[in-house]
Amino acid sequence: MTDLPPWVRHTKRTLPKKNGLSCAGLFAGCGGLDLGAVMAGFEPVYAADSDSIAVSSYRNNVSPHAECIDLSKSEISSVAKGVDLLLGGPPCQGFSSAGPKKKEDPRNKLWNHYLEYVKSWKPKIFLMENVYGFLQEFPSFSEKAQIILDGEYRLFARRFVTQYYGVPQFRDRVIIQGVRRDVAAGPLWPEPTSPEFYHYTKPFPTAISMARALEDLGPADDPTGLFGDHISVPLGPTDLSIARHIPNGGSLKDIPDKHLPKPYFGRLRTSSGWTWFYRKPRPEMPGRGVISSIRPNYATILAPDFKIQKTKKTYRWEPINPAEYTRKDGLYTSPFEPRRLTMRECARLQTFPDWFLFSGKPLDVHRQIGNAVPVEFARRLSDAAASLIIHGDDARAVSKTFSGNIS
């Protein structure tokens, strides 16, 4: 097992040396993708999003050069014309596995507006993040992009699982890289720390476990703790009664039929819903995907069961043996009070540094974190883009792997 990049645990704002390149972000949210570029040495010159609370977080943590506007209705200014790297994460709910997956969802076409900004500003490279389901839209996107951009860019798409890129979280995403033809043939991607497998439970040597990433935060919901946002949103009575009977790595399917609560008692068990509902992660593995919802029957938001031990300098998570808490009829009962993951735990799983403080109420904070790109993954993407901008087609020959940490 490896550990988080050291800067994730910094409580005071620390940034690396500048690389002489600029970046801008559209549909930027609270700034996960943009902060990754900043951690790679880019200078942020502009950002925009329609969520005023997320823009507040961006201004307070990434750069003051951010405005709250509806990019689909606003006139394109020249504020970031000639920027080196353009970043963006157009909303993807219509393609997300966590959503209703409506093909007619108008948000599915917001990338059209993103492309109009690319055409106007002509960045050397653009990076666009989206969910895995966007791959089905990529042929249409690529065809439309070539028309809008007059064939000035080569377009590439690649699927990534972020746990292989320094992130303690299994997050399945697609990145579109557009490389201006006079810059390089492209593409250049970061190298995974281990061979990638699209399976959550498969162990690998460079994994950063939930325990390793989160245990030093100490007890959750402690008013005397070091982190004011290490607080969990309380579970309701029904959710609480279900969560207490789910072991680590389990879900609703692990509760025997006769012990199911009223909402699920007597229902036909299916392979999809029952394995998805009320999932509880494995502390010895990277976390499951952090999303904007905190509904435990919908999102992987439950904290795992563990004993917390205080050492001289920090805290440690100690595993429990679920067999000790499982009856002969198969009913597991947690020895701990079930809870959601805290805001700071979710931020850690997304590799936001500890000095990054989110604006808004708890539900606003969870939404911002869940919609963001993991910062360390974004840093590695931006590091690769910087090498391509600086060295062009020689980037592969002069660049080292992009899997290292910055101190």
Annotated active-site residue in 23, 30, 92, 346: 92
Task: Name the residue among 194, 131, 190, 128 with its Cα closest to residue 159.
Answer: 131
**Residue 318 burial by Cβ neighbours in a 10 Å radius (0-12, 13-18, 19+):** exposed
Q: What phi and psi, each to the nearest 5 degrees, are found at residue 317?
A: -90, 125
Q: What is the phi/psi pair of residue 106, to 5°?
A: -60, -25
Q: By the 8 A CB rule, do 181 and 152 touch?
A: yes
Which neighbouring-strand residues pair with 153?
180
Please answer whether residues 180 and 388 qualify as being in contact, where contact means their C-beta atoms are separated by less than 8 angstroms: no
Handedness of CA 76, 78, 80, 81 (dihedral sign): positive
Q: Which of 197, 29, 173 is nearest to 96 (CA)?
A: 173
User: Residue 334: which region, alpha, beta or left (left: phi > 0; alpha: psi -120 to 50)?
Assistant: beta
Cross-strand partners of 309:
316
Question: Residue 92 catalytic?
Answer: yes
Q: Contact, 90 vs 147, CB < 8 A?
A: no
With beta carbons less than 8 A apart as the criterion, state whether 375 and 352 touch.
yes
Q: Which two tokens stand for residue 101?
A: 């997956």
Give me the active site residues, please.
Answer: 92
